[in-house]
Structure 1
Amino acid sequence: MLPGLDEDQLRVLGEVGQAWARVSDDADLRRHELPVDPDLGGFPSAEDIGPDRFGRMVRVATLGTATAPEEAVPSSGAARAAYRVRHALIGAPLKSTAVTRERMRKLVALPVLSADALSSVAYGPEAMLAVLVLAGTAGLGWTTPIAAAIAFLMLAVGVSYRQTIRAYPHGGGSYIVAGDNLGRVPGLVAAAGLMTDYILTVAVSIASGVAAITSALPSLSPYTVPIGAGVIALLLVGNLRGLRQAGALFAAPTYAFIIAMFVLVGVGLSDAAGRDFHATPTPHLNATEGVGVLLVMRAFASGSTAMTGIEAISNAVPAFQPTEWRNARTTLTWMICLLITLFAGVTALARLDGVVPRSGETVLSQLAHRSFGSGPMYVFTQIATAAVLLLAANTAYNDFPRVLFLLARDGHAPRLFLRLGDRLAFSNGIGVLSVAAAVVFVAFSGNTASLIPLYAVGVFLAFTLSQAGMVLHWWRLRDRHWRKSLFFNATGCVLSALVFVTAGITKFTSGAWVAILAVGLFLLVTTRIHHHYEEVRAALRLHPQAIEVPASPESPPHEECDPPAPPPEPPPPPAATSAVTAGAEPVVNGTVREDEESPEEIRNLSIVPISTLDLAGMRALAYAASLRQPVLALHLSPGEAEADRFRGYWHVWGDHLPLEVLVTPYRATVAPLVHYIEALHEQQPQLTLTIVVPEIVTRRRRYRLLHSRTASRLQRALRTLPKIVVTNVPYHV
């Protein structure tokens, strides 16, 4: 995360350090004169702690002896009501928590990471049949060859993603693979396809889940849209609370669905065997189209939506138990075998039983009715189907914010998507996904058939670019077995491109244009955001003429922070008492006194949180040093490597101010900073702590959301602590 400094910047940094040396005292003396001990230990690493049984939330020790203050309750009625509603829905902020990785066994990872792919069996075959039925009985005759082609496509793409896992053992989604091998723009296009896929995954999965419910309870059909919107709201609240995939809890619905599908296919094929596999005649169909190449291509593209979610395992390789990449490949193989078997079984059963799509009841529900009647097994099948579809929607809530995080890390999305919320979830990304999915779901009235045309475009665009990137990767690497790997990825690339082009052409007027337009707009916006960040980065580069330094040496007037005796003054009248006396206790009955009435009574320590040594950071350091009070620079680092790199830059500058580097591997910024300030306050309650925060201020209003407001967030977090001052030093660009 720390921007690197090139040789020219290092040279300028050294020159700036020489200018500071002319107005600075000895660094060791300044550290000795600090009124606190800045070394408070550190947070435990993510590898040293484990998640609780049903999530990833774990308690970790705070720094020093600090205890988090109680959260302030707003005083006004409306604000208090909003505060209570927020706490009831989302929960109280987690002060001393961290997010750690959840290591999964293969038997747990299979249902958790395969829910999206396996659940597509509930709507993929139906989407294919919904196109073929337009040509009547003649069109349905193409069911078997098209299903066979889709099954081969599943196998080819699955095998190609096995090669991706081998090449990217630490996780390689389409954005990473395409960006690394094809360049920035293809990577952004792949990310656009992925994010479109995740939004539609939520919309389509919920639409299909609600369809499973209304098929069993037809009286609920008029309430499809409200039910679906309510489910999205529940997913939003649940994910904002920080609920995450937790092995056994989320594995049950997927395994229940797999069992239900195998029983359904087994019973159906057994019944068909009793009649020598003679197909049951379909209901009378009025053909509205003739059988042609365009119809077959449309059916192939619609049925291929059963492949959504295949890349989830390649994204989550680090979540597996060691050896991660080997376990991930094994799990991917199991998933592909299950997906092909269930897809082929449901399609064959629909063909043998003469089932065609009809309004008011899904194909899966019709098959279950034929095999189980309306008994308990039918109810179990519908419940399992609805549950796994909702779980598939929740999978997008884990992946969509992560892609936004990666885009923000690379400067293609606002940095607010780097931020963890109060419950240690990527709240901003979760909110964007919920709003986008709700808009799509409501706009298409929760109709799965209307949403499917949008689906295939984004999915197979990401597949195509990912596999094309892998082809180039193997061509450049040429290690052992590179020809075999290149062949598998090239096959997956060609077939995925075929589906993408087919879907784009045949379903353009049916809604595919929306997905294509969304990809274009996404590329435009992310490119503009990256251009702005590049302009800001250029404006913040170090220049000797633009560097501010303190005008005079900063000499802390007092080494101790106990209040000195007040200057001589006339004695008070006998009946009066002095409001402030020398040696008065700073803490009375557990409460820090805030009754300083003169500048001499205030003892101050300036803390400068600094992420990088650029013009904004150097200006904040110069401002803090000019106050002629002790100054402590604080750098938060996500790992030891970055911490060492920053210490090296600090040494090149000249180590003119005391520096404390805090390693906090939890991706959060404000929470660890608040913990550190709380610990310093606990160490010296009578000390006034001034937090000097560098802040970028853009002259154009539309760019303001692209920069964090750390100062305001610190003010909200620290307002309950006495003697804490938060100020920002603006740098205008």
Structure 2
Amino acid sequence: MARTRTLRGYRVPAQRSELRVGPAVAPYRAAVASRVSPASIWRAVIGPPLATERQQHERLNSAQALAILGSDALSSAAYGPEEVLRVLAPAGAAALALSPSIGVAIAVLVIIVATSYYQTIHAYPTGGGAYIVARENLGVSAGLAAAAALLVDYALTVAVSISAGVSNIASAFPQLHPWRMELATTLIVFITITNLRGVRESGRLFAVPTYSFVAALACTLVGGAVMAARGTLPHVATNPPAEMRALTAFLVLRGFASGTAALTGIEAVANGVKAFREPEVRNASRVLLIMAAILATFVIGVLLLAHQMGVLPSDQETVVSQVARGVFGNSPFYYWVQISTLTILVMAANTAFADFPRLAAILARDEYMPHQFANLGDRLVYANGIAVLGLIAMALVVVFGATVHHLIPLYTVGVFVAFTLSQFGMVRHWARVRGNWWRTKLGINAVGGAITGIVGLEVGLVKFADGAWVALLVMVIVMAGMRYVRGHYELVRRLLAVDRARPVRRITRHRVIIPIGDVHRGVIEAVRYAQAISDDVTAVYVAVDPEASDDICARWERNVPGVPLVILPSPYRSVVRPILDYLDRLQAESEPEALITVVLPEFVTRRWWDGFLHNQTALMLRLALLYSRRRGRRRRVVADVPYYLAR
């Protein structure tokens, strides 16, 4: 048995693997557990930490992956067809008669893009999608453009999906219509917390709503087709648009451009290959093809039924709601469709929560985003990326009032930028690596790239004045920000390189300065620490209130004899500036190799929220000392000496 020694109730074994905690620790642990702190609240919300070896078990099977990574694409059947009708309706019946044909064109585009991404999955099984493909084959600028487009698209995906879901439920319950923004922000908070709890847990939670929507909409389309075959399909009574327009080719193109919002989310599977269980490539490919087939069927079916029933878009009731009401009436099946639509649109946001953090982590590892995004959280998810995405999405919902057709013009531009760069990147990939059937594969990606490029250009031109320019501007800003981050990390690496360091020289003098605001036990502890590291210790007090200086001096001489106290006048009542000026004077009078250590006494309250009741002078002084860049201020050390308050 290993030898042990006892230290204040702890049993410390000779081997670390045999570490045990003695009974004296139990009361302490119970006391800590009973305290309410931000950490304890956080742990109660997101659950206990998961060990790293469980990461493989947190991956998704095909059924869960279709629910998480496919929900964005599938849910677009709930609002993509409506955007087509919203554009065509002012031109009358002749324009609306073209909506099924536009639906077929969108479905063909879905199949082309899905086929192209099928090849991307097999060529790049590690994931990363458009960013990795474009960076490796077209260069860094193309890769950053694809990454910026995807990041913007993911943020808009959350805002659009949640807003569309709230609109659908408000169609069934009109009394909720004035509360759309509040409902949307609440749902974003809920889905953010759910994703912070872990991938597998969100997969289990979201699988049922996704498949419920697929079943509900499929029943609606089948029921509508049967009624149409029997001649019993009702005609929905709707009010015509207040403003009528002429039917032009530009209007048709604009309707098609609005409908291409249905393509958002197709790239999610290719971006998240590493989220699948093994065999990853086979599972990801299968999910992609199933998702594309369902989406294409739904887009055509909804537009065809809406045309047959004479459905027109309305701010009070969605197209899917009108179609379902016409097929099922006000029966429970109608409410099943509406509730399922709401849930799938909420789940669609989950696709972005799965892919945005993963792409941000890849960019962070390449040093184009802050390193914090690459940190895997204690629930084996990229928690920083999830939290940031939630905050951005809530801001979008608030700014645009949770209104879908205000967000849609910003939405699809980024999708086609990523699509096009990815496809042309694959063309370059096949031309470079070749292999079996490389000409056929190159041709598929070339056709896909050409079509998505043309459609993307058309979408950008048609929707530019409606708000697409905002999305393009944000992408440019994000790209500039990523280049700035990379430049910063390269500069830091160069400045920290050992070969640039000066020869080590001995410190000739070590002076310790202790700023104080009062004389208390926390200051006494700081003085003890200062005297342990240097014999040259000086305290400084900023006389904001001159009348209090005499009292401070008297108490200092009585409690801390032998340590000089310097009184700094402050006619403008500043605390930080006089201390910085005093340190500058000391530095100027000292020899080059002298060192000044600033010891900051700071008491810590028993409860974290009690800290807000006290001035944060030590914090402000610490920040000022750390980030002062004036020449001569860099040879300083800042040390905190906390004193923990206890009864």
Q: Same fold (TM over 0.5)?
A: yes
| Inter-partner Cα distance in structure 2 for 1:337 and 1:229 | 32
Any residues of structure 2 matched to 1:437-456 within 5 Å, and which?
437-456=393-412
Which of 357, 367, 371 is the matching residue for 1:401? 357
- Quote the Cα distance in structure 2 between the aligned partners of 1:235 and 1:447: 19
How far did residue 91 of structure 1 move? 5.0
Residue 45 of structure 2 corresponds to which residue in structure 1? Answer: 90
1:384 alignment partner in structure 2: 340
Map of 2:257 onto structure 1: 301
How many angstroms apart in 2 are the aligned matches of 1:414 and 1:362?
41
Per-residue CA distance 1:14-66 (angstroms, 9 max, x = gap): xxxxxxxxxxxxxxxxxxxxxx999968xxxxxxxxxxxxxxxxxxxxx9668
> What is residue 222 of structure 1 aligned with on the other side?
178
Contact persistence 1:73–1:83 (CA under 8 A): no
Alignment-derived partner of residue 70 in structure 2: 114
Out of 267, 278, 282, the residue aligned to residue 322 of structure 1 is 278
| Residue correspondences, number | 509
Unaligned runs of 5+ in 2: 1-11, 508-527, 533-625, 631-637
Q: What is the CA distance between 1:246 and its match in structure 2?
A: 4.7
* Counterpart contact for 2:59–2:200, Cα < 8 Å: no
1:378 CA displacement: 0.6
- The answer to whether residue 147 in structure 2 is matched with residue 191 in structure 1 is yes
CA–CA distance in structure 1, aligned partners of residues 321 and 155 of structure 2: 25
Partners of 2:304 and 2:501 in 1: how far apart? 76
Equivalent position of 1:543 in the other structure: 499
1:124 paired residue among 80, 92, 96: 80
Q: Deviations over 1:405-448 (max 9, x none)?
A: 11111111112222344555433222221121111111111111
1:526 offset after TM fit, Å?
1.0
State whether residues 465 and 493 of structure 1, in contact with CA within 8 Å, keep that contact through their aligned partners in structure 2. Answer: yes
Report the Cα distance in structure 2 between the residues aligned to 1:715 and 1:461, rounded to whole angstroms.
53
Identify if the C-alpha distance between structure 1 residues 275 and 545 changes in structure 2 by more than 3 Å, giving closer, same or farther: closer
One-letter amino acid of the structure 1 residue matched with residue 468 of structure 2:
A
Q: Which residue pairs with 2:96 in the alignment?
A: 140
Q: For 2:498, what is the secondary structure of its paired residue?
A: coil
Q: What residue is the counterpart of 1:362 in the other structure?
A: 318
Quick check: 1:256 aligned with 2:212? Answer: yes
Conserved? CA contact 2:224–2:233, under 8 Å = no
- The one-letter code of the counterpart of 1:86 is I
Please state how far the C-alpha of 1:337 moved relative to its aligned partner.
1.1
Q: CA deviation at 1:272?
A: 1.1
Contact 2:195 2:202 in 1 (8 A): no
Letter in structure 2 aligned against 1:316: G
| Contact 1:98–1:424 (Cα < 8 Å) also in 2 | no
Task: Report 1:116-515 matches (<5 A).
Answer: 116-242=72-198, 244-275=200-231, 284-285=240-241, 288-421=244-377, 423-515=379-471
- 1:346-373 Cα distance to aligned partner (Å, 9 max, x none): 1111111111101200000000100001
- Opposite residue 184 of structure 1, the aligned amino acid is V
More RCO (CA 8 Å, sep 6+): 1
Q: Distance between the aligned counterparts of 1:527 and 1:256, measured in 2? A: 43
After superposition, the CA RMSD in angstroms is 3.7
Q: Distance in 2 between matches of 1:524 and 1:430?
A: 22
Quote the offset at 1:207 in angstroms. 0.5
Pick closer, same or farther for the CA change 1:64–1:530 going to 2, 3 Å.
Answer: farther
* SS of match in other structure, 1:457: helix
CA distance in structure 1 between the aligned counterparts of 2:394 and 2:43, rounded to whole angstroms = 22
Between the aligned partners of 2:236 and 2:47, the Cα distance in structure 1 is 58
Task: Report the Cα distance in structure 1 between the residues aligned to 2:500 and 2:182, rounded to whole angstroms.
Answer: 61
- The answer to whether the 8 Å contact 1:411/1:529 transfers is yes
**Cα separation, partners in 2 of 1:137 and 1:483, compared to 1, 3 Å:** same
- Percent identity reads 42
Contact 2:272 2:355 in 1 (8 A): no
The residue correspondences of 1:665-704 to structure 2 (distance < 5 A) are none
Q: Could you tell me whether the CA contact under 8 Å between 1:279 and 1:351 is conserved in 2? A: no
Deviations 1:578-629 (A, max 9, x none): xxxxxxxxxxxxxxxxxxx99xx9xxxxxxxxxxxxxxxxxxxxxxxxxxxx
Q: Give the distance between the partners of 2:274 and 2:21, measured in 1 at CA.
A: 34
Pair 172,532 (structure 1): closer, same or farther in 2 beyond 3 Å: closer
Deviations 1:322-356 (A, max 9, x none): 33212322221111111111111111111111111
Question: What's the secondary structure of 1:546's corresponding residue?
Answer: coil
**Partner Cα distance (1:368, 1:315) in 2:** 34
Higher helix share: 2
Q: Distance in 2 between matches of 1:274 and 1:357?
A: 26
1:450 Cα deviation after fit: 1.0
Q: Is the 8 A contact 2:71 2:350 kept in 1?
A: no
What TM-score, normalized to structure 2?
A: 0.71
Q: Normalising by structure 1, report the TM-score.
A: 0.63
